[in-house]
Structure 1
Amino acid sequence: MNDITIENDSALTEFVAATAAEHDMPGMAVGIWADGRVIFANTGVTSTENPVPVTEHTLFAIGSTSKTFTTTALLRLVADGRVDLDAPVRTYVPELTLLDERHAAAITVRQLLNHTAGLEWNIINNTGEGDDGLAAFVASLAELPLIAAPGERPSYSQAGFNLLGRVIENVTGVPFEQVVAETVLAPVGLRESFYSRDEVMTRRFAAGHERQADGQLAVARAWKGTRANNPGGGLGSTVSDLLRWGRFHLGDGHGEHGDTVLPAELLDRMKQPTARLRASAMADAFGLCWMLRDVDGVRVVGHDGSGFGQFANFQLVPERNFAVVVLSNASPDGIPANQAVVRWALRHYLGVVDADPEPVAFDAGRAPELFGVYDIDAMTMTCYAEGEQLLLECKVKPEIRAAAPEAEIPQDHPPFPFGLLPGDGDEYVITAGSFQGQRGFFSRDERGEITGIDLAGRLFTRIA
């Protein structure tokens, strides 16, 4: 983990600059670990209102990539014998209450880590910035919808990871952020990663941007979510720190000064499949937090993140000792921009080709059974067709926008065109727009009737 020489790659620099220009991205920062080399490529500015050049030391809000830090801190407690992955969560959070008492009693720590706890995506509420923010959030989980019995199926849950933060707090008796800082960030040597806005605002940081209805970019006034969202998505970090983080997770568990931060056995266990996903661009399987994909014959391990107009892609190829980190600061095109850089890096440095599957032709007889309205806590999705084009329209619920104006909920995306994939006809791929390449599937009950649709690892339940 000692510092090494930083190199340049003109081909990478040129591609990053061209990609940022193509997607009208204010700024991008990219880091590569390949063949024992550290390579950075940066372009653009931190903000259209207060433009400062982006460097590898510019802080971005990394969203759900934060989950990898939460998991590592939790597994340190597992290594110390203070947490059992297969113990009920109530062993450590006895105050947990859910809509179903049996559900609350049955969920295990492991099921939170691999998103099989049966919890809906999240509850959007503001429980304050005090040390009691996470405890108050957990108390509000009594209102969280449940989508399946524990262990029955994977469905990505932000609420589940924030609950893991409360596990860490209760076991240690110390605020979550302090535990991560002392047991993970400091030992690994990450000096540019912070949860506190006060720490971020005194350093060079990127502002997120949202595309407005008129096509122009506007600075997002919210930088990150509330404190209760820190375990699931509240860290700010830099490409420099994240590349060091990637090298740690590709290594043997030793930190900056040679001390063991996490036993190698647990690092490896994080990367082993624990729950298979169907037709998902997010992953083929969940490990312990990590999202696992098989791409062109190699295993890719990663965890991306997004929020408030900022996007993070964090991908590792363990068998090739390779890491790529991409950070950008505008929505919605940060998704395809980051993906383009990741795919270019896999091809350029490893010869690995990551391509989207091809859909089948439109079937007028098959399509109508897909049509309807599908729902999660914060969004409604409508499936319909225009001519021979299937479409998914995702909209934030009006009551969510009305209840949280300070959060600057992003503009709704235009409808996503999609096509069904070969096979049983229930799997699909989005074919254009900012979600191009995202895959999912329609769920059926025992009678064969469609009851839901999965998108980005989340289950939308059919309501009409």
Structure 2
Amino acid sequence: MTRQELQDLIAELANEFGVPGVAAGLWYRGDVSYVCHGVTSIENPLPIEEHTLFQAGSIGKTLTATALVLLEAQGLVALDAPVRRYVPELNLSDVTAGDQVTLKHLLNHTAGWEGDFFPDTGEGDNALAGFVDRLNELEQLTPPGTVFSYNNAAFCLAGRVIEKVTGETYESAIRRLILEPLGLHESFFFRDDVMTRRFAVGHKTTDGDALEVARPWGLPRNGAAAGGIVTSVSDLLAWARFHLRGARDDVEAQYLPDNPRLQAMYRPTLHMPGCAFGDAFGIGWFLTKVGNAWLVSHGGSTHGQEANLAFLPEHDWALVLLTNSSPGGMSFNEAATKRVLAACTGIVEPSVQTVSAAPSELAEYAGEYRARSMRCLVSVDESGEFVFAVSNELELNALMSENSEVPQSEPTVLRALLVREHADRYVFASGPLSGTTGYFERGQNNRVRALHLFGRWLSLVDA
């Protein structure tokens, strides 16, 4: 794919999905291309350029995971050790889980407690300590190490582990361990650093499908370890290339003397076929089977911004996409990744095949599924399609609004079908999330007990 072909593709997809601004970076077999399109904000439009800063969201979790792998190489932590070895004050609602949870459970989303917890514990250096003090408010849904469920709170706790073993703030430790050694000089955590540079603001769609600026812009400081990084496309592609070198093992990873530790991050620690984000999870990274290889990736969603980073070691290929629109940016990232991957490597990901079923056959899946920040009512219509009515709970709505009183939002209605030859899996059949997959989970009695939605484990009410 030439740079002009990439430029044309980005412009085409930005127009299709209503994305005001995009920065893309492509590495393929030694060649690098940066492509930018659009503006930073519809209210104060400045051209997107290579050094424009975007919120990378949960891609920052790969920094947290890599920092702990680095600290393990230095003998300061052990990923299989209990978290309480490093944070003895950890107090969870489930005492047994508090004794059992390890660092690896934090880094592969199997800690088992409710993961979307966003209290604001201030902007001081004690923000993460204050966050950890409130973890006992979270319900333990599954025993540690047993079920994948995307867990922001676990990564915040991982950030606190970094603070405890280094004696530094999380942000300072990440800068010393990763950003400075790798020359990532356009990556920041604090708004005062971002606001003196050109940066993108998020956008969301209104009820009339028009775009508006998403407010507030930033997240509380305690979310830094889970997704507070703000960076440029050039820095993020350099981060991908660092990991790509470690995965290929043909160039020494200068700042990780024990290179096999880096490679281990891209090996499955658990499998979750049918998950929205990948078929398996390593340490800090999603893994998707493409042919006979693992595509390594992580996305990032903040308020009105969507990012994605992916690399394929066997083909010496990496792609970074930064957008300032949600949910359009999510659809943009998925489409762009597939088309660039196919153009460069010839790998075409097959479309998910669906199967129709009689409404009576789907009745066992119907019901109310709930987690701390999300509620989903699943019903079945006369055509044999699932109807998902998904709503964020008030705590998450309040975080994403500047208003002190936030009404319950109207649910988003999504339609889904069963996936052919895969019992209990579904795929969204239309709309901006078309092609996104998930699955239902059964208990020991073989009855449906939970819904896996957008990577989250939602329990069936009264199951």
1:173 to 167, 171, 175: 167
Give me the whole-angstrom Cα distance separating, in 1, the residues matched to 2:42 and 2:295.
34
1:416 to 414, 417, 424: 414
Q: 1:382 to 1:245 in 2, by over 3 A?
A: same
Give me the whole-angstrom Cα distance separating, in 1, the residues matched to 2:177 and 2:252.
13
Q: Which residue of 2 aligns with 1:150?
A: 144
Q: Which residue of 2 aligns with 1:333?
A: 328
The 5 Å alignment of 1:371-382 reads: 371-382=366-377
Q: Does 1:323 align with 2:321?
A: no
Q: Does 1:271 align with 2:266?
A: yes
- Which has the higher mean CA deviation after the structures are superposed, 192-201 or 351-360? 351-360
- Which has the higher mean CA deviation after the structures are superposed, 428-437 or 189-198? 428-437
Residues 226-280 of structure 1: per-residue CA shift (max 9 Å, x gap): 11110011000111111111111011499x9984245311110111111111311
Q: Which residue of 1 aligns with 2:388?
A: 392
Q: 1:412 to 1:341 in 2, by over 3 A?
A: farther
The 5 Å alignment of 1:39-438 reads: 39-252=33-246, 259-261=254-256, 263-388=258-383, 389-398=385-394, 400-401=396-397, 405-406=401-402, 414-423=412-421, 425-438=423-436
Amino acid across the alignment from 2:24: V
Shift of 1:402: 5.2
Q: Which sections of structure 2, spanning at least 5 residues, go unmatched?
A: none
- Give secondary structure in 1 for the equivalent of 2:149: coil
Give me the whole-angstrom Cα distance separating, in 2, the residues matched to 1:258 and 1:274.
22
Q: Which sections of structure 1, spanning at least 5 residues, go unmatched?
A: 1-6
Shift of 1:71: 1.1
- Which has the higher mean CA deviation after the structures are superposed, 142-151 or 442-451? 442-451
Amino acid across the alignment from 1:417: R
Cα RMSD over matched residues? Answer: 2.1
Shift of 1:217: 0.9
- Give secondary structure in 1 for the equivalent of 2:402: helix
Q: Is residue 428–residue 437 contact of structure 2 (8 Å, CA) maintained in 1? A: yes
Give me the whole-angstrom Cα distance separating, in 2, the residues matched to 1:262 and 1:323.
23
Amino acid across the alignment from 1:454: H
Residues 109-153 of structure 1: per-residue CA shift (max 9 Å, x gap): 111111112122221211011100000000110001111111112
Residues 143-181 of structure 1: per-residue CA shift (max 9 Å, x gap): 011111111122111111110000000111110000000
- Give secondary structure in 1 for the equivalent of 2:180: helix
TM-score (normalizing by structure 2)? 0.94
Residues 403-443 of structure 1: per-residue CA shift (max 9 Å, x gap): 76338999766311110112353111111122222211111
Q: Is residue 281–residue 438 contact of structure 1 (8 Å, CA) maintained in 2? A: yes
Amino acid across the alignment from 1:15: L
Give me the whole-angstrom Cα distance separating, in 1, the residues matched to 2:119 and 2:253.
41
2:445 to 440, 444, 447: 447
Give me the whole-angstrom Cα distance separating, in 1, the residues matched to 2:411 and 2:154.
26
Give me the whole-angstrom Cα distance separating, in 2, the residues matched to 1:433 and 1:309.
18
1:457 to 450, 455, 458: 455
Q: 1:413 to 1:28 in 2, by over 3 A?
A: farther
- Which has the higher mean CA deviation after the structures are superposed, 429-438 or 393-402? 393-402
Q: Which residue of 1 aligns with 2:29?
A: 35
Amino acid across the alignment from 2:13: T
Q: Is residue 188–residue 261 contact of structure 1 (8 Å, CA) maintained in 2? A: no
Q: Which residue of 2 aligns with 1:3?
A: none
Amino acid across the alignment from 1:391: V
- Which has the higher mean CA deviation after the structures are superposed, 74-83 or 116-125? 116-125
- Give secondary structure in 2 for the equivalent of 1:210: strand
Give me the whole-angstrom Cα distance separating, in 2, the residues matched to 1:75 and 1:83.
8
Give me the whole-angstrom Cα distance separating, in 2, the residues matched to 1:17 and 1:405.
30
Give me the whole-angstrom Cα distance separating, in 2, the residues matched to 1:343 and 1:286.
20
Shift of 1:387: 2.8
Q: Which residue of 2 aligns with 1:4?
A: none
- Give secondary structure in 2 for the equivalent of 1:415: strand
Amino acid across the alignment from 2:338: R
Shift of 1:108: 0.6
Amino acid across the alignment from 2:379: Y
Q: What number of residue pairs does the alignment pair up?
A: 457
Amino acid across the alignment from 2:386: L
- Which has the higher mean CA deviation after the structures are superposed, 347-356 or 188-197? 347-356
Amino acid across the alignment from 2:156: N
Q: 1:262 to 1:42 in 2, by over 3 A?
A: farther
Give me the whole-angstrom Cα distance separating, in 1, the residues matched to 2:217 and 2:178.
23
Give me the whole-angstrom Cα distance separating, in 2, the residues matched to 1:455 and 1:351.
30
Amino acid across the alignment from 1:241: D
Aligned-residue sequence identity (percent) comes to: 39
Shift of 1:216: 1.3
Give me the whole-angstrom Cα distance separating, in 2, the residues matched to 1:250 and 1:398.
40
Amino acid across the alignment from 1:429: V
Amino acid across the alignment from 1:436: S
TM-score (normalizing by structure 1)? 0.94
Amino acid across the alignment from 1:460: L
Amino acid across the alignment from 1:242: L
Give me the whole-angstrom Cα distance separating, in 2, the residues matched to 1:281 and 1:99.
29
Give me the whole-angstrom Cα distance separating, in 1, the residues matched to 2:159 and 2:237.
24
